Amino acid sequence: MDFSLTREQEMLKKLAAEFAEKELEPAAAEMDREHKFNEENFAKMAKLGFTGLGIPREYGGSGGGATEKVIVVSEFAKKCLTSAATLSIHSITPGVILKHGTEEQKKKYLPMLTEGGHLAAFALTEPGAGSDAAGVKTTAVYDAETDEFVINGTKCFITGGARASVLIIFAQTKPELGVKGLSAIIVEKGTPGFTSGKIEEKMGLAGSETAELVFEDCRVPAANLVGKEGQGFKIAMEALDGARVGVGASAVGLAEGAIDLSVKYMHERVQFGKPIAALQGLQWYLAEMGTRTETARWMVYYAAYLQDSQKPFTKEAAMCKLAGSETARFVSNLAMQIHGGYGYMKDYPLERIYRDAKITEIYEGTSEVHKVVISRAMLGK
């Protein structure tokens, strides 16, 4: 058993940490305040090859796999959860195309979504289909005359959906088959019949746009089908396993960032004539924060290792997402407590970190759903 990173992974970690400190941290407060997606920083991520992680070089990617993504996403989240989430969620779509796409789809879409700096989105959720993803009602009816799918329906809460150049959407191509009639289809921005609706106002993760998407007789070539017809649910669940490792990684990074701020503050803040670092009550908070974060980190790395080794990792992905997100909430809460009244003020990053932490317990599957996934695996169901 080897717990160390390779030399290349150490270099990647350093590069990601420097980028996060130099580019992401200074922009984080403004993104949060203005509820504004940071195009410049996403373009820089692409230039440095972060958007190409997990994709082979022949398609414009940077190589590497789940472990490399975990390293980068954690480093980003230490300084800005929104930026980490942007990268992590963006990477779902090229990952699906790489695994299930045709050679034409790979050649057409992967270079633009990696080195090309175009944003991608993954659209599964609908007003009536959240945790119950099989309840998707959007339809994609095949038109043999034109060899196209005609898409109708509404998606909601789609990260980057209004801005993305390429989206994978999930729609019923054979509604009579229920979940077995669900298919994954590529839709490009600007396709007639596809518009974005409301951009949600959120509690946190404010620099990430969460959009409603509307499809009204939106026609896409049948060649945009990803995988086979009826494989949509399987593709979505498999993609979400990987995405959950990303959420776990971002949650651990956020917790590490909150710990770093807390340690610094405990040394600086003086009460009763000495730094608050001398107070045992706060020392114990710190010990619990550190222990939980380390526990979650190794779960995240283990899930990424399983994924990279092509071994089953559904249970471990759910576990690391559950543990990571609970840790993020726990740690950000105690970090704010350590900062006292100053932590509650918008002048300090803790207030944003505290609000941002909550989303990790909700998206890419709620904590409750993860408990269902984990217990099912444990019971052999």
Ligand X SMILES: Cc1cc2nc3c(=O)[nH]c(=O)nc-3n(C[C@H](O)[C@H](O)[C@H](O)COP(=O)(O)OP(=O)(O)OC[C@H]3O[C@@H](n4cnc5c(N)ncnc54)[C@H](O)[C@@H]3O)c2cc1C
Q: Does the annotation mark 145 as catalytic?
A: no
How far is the C-alpha of 78 from the C-alpha of 332, rounded, in Å? Answer: 12
DSSP assignment, residue 4?
P
Distances (CA, A) of 365 to 62, 200, 235, 317, 369: 28, 19, 15, 11, 6
**Which residue's Cβ lies closest to ligand X?**
130
Nearer to ligand X, 28 or 259 (CB): 28
Binding segment toward ligand X, per CB under 6 A, in 16-24, 156-164, 252-260, 281-289: 156-164
**Which of 19, 50, 157, 354: binder of ligand X (CB under 6 A)?**
157
How far is the C-alpha of 92 from the C-alpha of 161, rounded, in Å? Answer: 13
147: helix, coil or strand? coil
Tally Cβ neighbours within 10 Å of residue 60: 22
Binding segment toward ligand X, per CB under 6 A, in 94-102, 123-131, 171-179, 294-302: 123-131
3: helix, coil or strand? coil
**Which of 70, 365, 373, 374: binder of ligand X (CB under 6 A)?**
365
How far is the C-alpha of 13 from the C-alpha of 69, rounded, in Å? Answer: 10
8 A C-beta contact, residue 244 and residue 364: yes
**Which of 159, 183, 327, 332: binder of ligand X (CB under 6 A)?**
159
Contact call for residue 131 and ligand X (CB under 6 A): yes
- Please report how close the Cβ of residue 170 comes to ligand X at its closest, in angstroms: 8
Contact call for residue 31 and ligand X (CB under 6 A): no
8 A C-beta contact, residue 220 and residue 191: yes
8 A C-beta contact, residue 327 and residue 255: yes
Contact call for residue 51 and ligand X (CB under 6 A): no
- Please report how close the Cβ of residue 338 comes to ligand X at its closest, in angstroms: 27
**Which of 130, 230, 275, 290: binder of ligand X (CB under 6 A)?**
130
State the catalytic residues: 364
User: Which positions touch ligand X (CB under 6 A)?
Assistant: 89, 122-125, 130-131, 157-159, 202, 205, 210, 359, 362-366, 368-369, 372
